[in-house]
Structure 1
């Protein structure tokens, strides 16, 4: 059987990890065609990744045809899976998302706060067009989205596009599971964490190792500073004994932005003055990665890729596609419709939750109510996400302003307007829906 994967954003530095994942799964997930797609400004990177991918496939002696193109519609013909990993405006746009909020005394981060909202504004219309093409050309294909902000983007596609086969993925649950396993001297596959919440805003309620409840042990080790499961793009900060003991929840690294805001802001301002924004640091890392990718003797995914903060997104995506194809009925943490999984959120809200993965897609495992200490925050975040989607689709200034004001990292009605106006002007070439 022919099995075709299309990678939109194929010129991304993460693509070698997807190709590696496909090669490693040839026995169970026999993809025999991969098409990389990008846009004209990314043509050089696309070609670089394409030639590296061919060398990787040749080195592995895998039966995979790899090609690349700037013609998205042509690439989608007969596709079974589509991985979306785009960055509208590139790292230059990300740098603006980080720099302008920092200048005004707010967190500057690509998926949280003002920067995250702006990324959604730029990204959602583009992915809506992609979903339209998928529905028309290959309606049975699954879109596996790991374009950030993944939860918001996935909800926009599921609720407002005609294509229903969309799943969002993130590397944070994967990283948390593996780091928790290391903490407990266990194998990652032995660890199961009951997650509750939203993308980049999930908490661990319960940690099981081979069915044994080890939650309190993990909390003790967190309190005693024995754990550090922070992605490369987030500076590690410790959690207080009081926070862990009171909430009785396992936080994820992004919670630092919301529960240690002033400390993170000061660290980010210091880092900005010393080394520039995180985006500017990543630009330098990207340049070195692509220099490495162009070396004709390189025929495997280089270890240096793991220095990128989003490393392992691709591993998560490959595992998900493998499980759908094989109807594995295993448990993975993905972004999908709530459908009553969390009783305190609407059915059509997209949550990040443990799901049984079937050939028909993810089936969320019932969670129940949100724990009282974080109920208000999660509901506030979901409401803000809905406002962000509304603004991205409507292009109305008032909708955008509402999203800014209600974002927990802004919530200042006067400064929100200053931030919004400056960011809309800076990004206007990528925001055609806003009549500026």
Structure 2
């Protein structure tokens, strides 16, 4: 059986060890001959690099391994690029969150002004990595899950329309694990789902079992009563209280339209005042990640490096990583698996603009993906999506044209921002904070 070579772009991420553990756990499905880490920040990558080498050598010493900051070394002779870059790292994420909060606006990594600021930073980094792939391994596939996924996907559509890039997001997968638990399935793969929307901005419309029995009404009834919590759930089931609060908030989101099941990220767009009221403007999610996840992962990687073995490690496979293996396997072995991807609409949603990057089920095989038809969508969902997709397009316009006006329009149009005066204040602060990353806006 053919063995494949993979490069993880953004190798210094705290998620990299989880991805490697998932790859190593699925060698029977996706045999590997090489795993590479690539990052332009050598110091950060070194926090995980040696531990990842030990994980690989203890599982399968025949797999070649390298951690590098040289794009030629990283991208030469690879079959798949797993891209999860974070331009500006967590320091800039912190500013993405805190600057809007100064003005009483949602401060979040991918939603609202913070997501747009992050998007403007991310575009050149993602495009650069696509160019490396096309130069050194033109037949490779890039599985891109760099955030904010919708803005990045729109930039890929516009500037790299013929590239072998598939834009994905793990967030719906995490929610489907929760849905499976609510409905009593052993795992999410026992469900056949219908879903549509934009990234972090969509709805489940059907959930069937293998025999075709529909469960969506059961899920709606449960969510109207409990949100995404189990009936006997409490905060002890969650890694921190914010995830528990998010699960509960689905109860309020679905009450606005109890005909389909919403993505939990709608809490930021539909209940922004609640989100701001419950957020500490001086200690946001980025700070929490630094103090918890980053310390935990880097600390465990340092321990593995010191003792020279990964035996009894506390590192675990991340649920977000399973989707990556599924997608790579479908491309490699033509499995025609059904997966949620971020793709050009091209009529899949018949009453929505053709060139919008939508998140819908697709059938995946060796030649890429084939989107499934969604049909017409209701006015409420369509209106929300049109507002959001045009914000995202305006951000890419701002990048392309170096336009202050386009970025101001993007912020003004966004549902999280109350008015143009606030939009301008946020934008001016973001320009100052992003001098090292954004194009000069004129």
Please confirm whether the aligned pair reaches a TM-score higher than 0.5, indicating the same fold.
yes
CA distance in 2, matches of 1:406, 1:154: 20
For the pair 1:213 / 2:214, whether they are aligned, the reply is: yes
* Map of 1:352 onto structure 2: 359
* Map of 1:197 onto structure 2: 197
Q: How many residues align?
A: 425
1:295-334 alignment runs, 5 A limit? 295-296=303-304, 297=307, 299=310, 311-334=318-341
* Map of 2:233 onto structure 1: none
8 Å Cα contact 2:253/2:262 also seen in 1: no
* Map of 1:282 onto structure 2: 289
Quickly say closer, same or farther: Cα 1:59–1:74, change in 2 above 3 A: closer
8 Å Cα contact 2:300/2:314 also seen in 1: no
Quickly say closer, same or farther: Cα 1:231–1:46, change in 2 above 3 A: same
* Map of 2:345 onto structure 1: 338
8 Å Cα contact 2:48/2:301 also seen in 1: yes
* Map of 1:111 onto structure 2: 110
SS at 1:224 equivalent: helix
Quickly say closer, same or farther: Cα 1:323–1:62, change in 2 above 3 A: farther
CA distance in 1, matches of 2:54, 2:45: 14
Quickly say closer, same or farther: Cα 1:313–1:301, change in 2 above 3 A: farther
1:164-175 alignment runs, 5 A limit? 164-175=163-174
Query: 1:304 offset after TM fit, Å?
Result: 6.1
For the pair 1:24 / 2:29, whether they are aligned, the reply is: no
Higher mean displacement: 358-367 or 157-166: 157-166
CA distance in 2, matches of 1:172, 1:301: 28
CA distance in 2, matches of 1:185, 1:342: 30
Quickly say closer, same or farther: Cα 1:104–1:34, change in 2 above 3 A: same
Query: 1:59 offset after TM fit, Å?
Result: 2.3
* Map of 1:399 onto structure 2: 406
Unaligned 5+ runs, structure 2 = 231-237
Quickly say closer, same or farther: Cα 1:418–1:241, change in 2 above 3 A: closer
8 Å Cα contact 1:4/1:33 also seen in 2: yes
CA distance in 1, matches of 2:189, 2:32: 24
Query: 1:245 offset after TM fit, Å?
Result: 7.4
Query: 1:241 offset after TM fit, Å?
Result: 7.1
CA distance in 2, matches of 1:251, 1:79: 37
Which of 424, 427, 437 pairs up with 1:430? Answer: 437
8 Å Cα contact 2:192/2:207 also seen in 1: yes
* Map of 1:264 onto structure 2: 275
Query: 1:155 offset after TM fit, Å?
Result: 2.1
Query: 1:77 offset after TM fit, Å?
Result: 1.2
SS at 1:213 equivalent: coil
SS at 2:8 equivalent: strand
Quickly say closer, same or farther: Cα 1:241–1:403, change in 2 above 3 A: closer
CA distance in 2, matches of 1:58, 1:34: 11
For the pair 1:120 / 2:119, whether they are aligned, the reply is: yes
8 Å Cα contact 1:193/1:204 also seen in 2: yes
TM score, norm. by length of structure 1: 0.92
SS at 1:253 equivalent: coil
CA distance in 2, matches of 1:106, 1:32: 48
TM score, norm. by length of structure 2: 0.90
Which of 241, 259, 276 pairs up with 1:248? Answer: 259
1:141-180 alignment runs, 5 A limit? 141-161=140-160, 163-180=162-179
* Map of 1:222 onto structure 2: 223
For the pair 1:182 / 2:181, whether they are aligned, the reply is: yes
8 Å Cα contact 1:387/1:402 also seen in 2: yes
8 Å Cα contact 1:289/1:305 also seen in 2: no
CA distance in 2, matches of 1:30, 1:4: 9
RMSD: 2.2
8 Å Cα contact 1:195/1:353 also seen in 2: yes
Query: 1:321 offset after TM fit, Å?
Result: 0.7
CA distance in 2, matches of 1:367, 1:354: 9
* Map of 2:4 onto structure 1: 3
CA distance in 1, matches of 2:329, 2:252: 40
8 Å Cα contact 2:11/2:45 also seen in 1: yes
- For residues 376-426 of structure 1, the C-alpha deviation after alignment (integer angstroms, 9 at most, x for no partner) is 001111111111111122221111111111111115111111110011111
- For residues 72-124 of structure 1, the C-alpha deviation after alignment (integer angstroms, 9 at most, x for no partner) is 13311122111111111111100001111001110000101110000011110
For the pair 1:292 / 2:295, whether they are aligned, the reply is: no
Higher mean displacement: 223-232 or 243-252: 223-232
SS at 2:430 equivalent: helix
CA distance in 2, matches of 1:246, 1:325: 40
8 Å Cα contact 2:250/2:264 also seen in 1: no
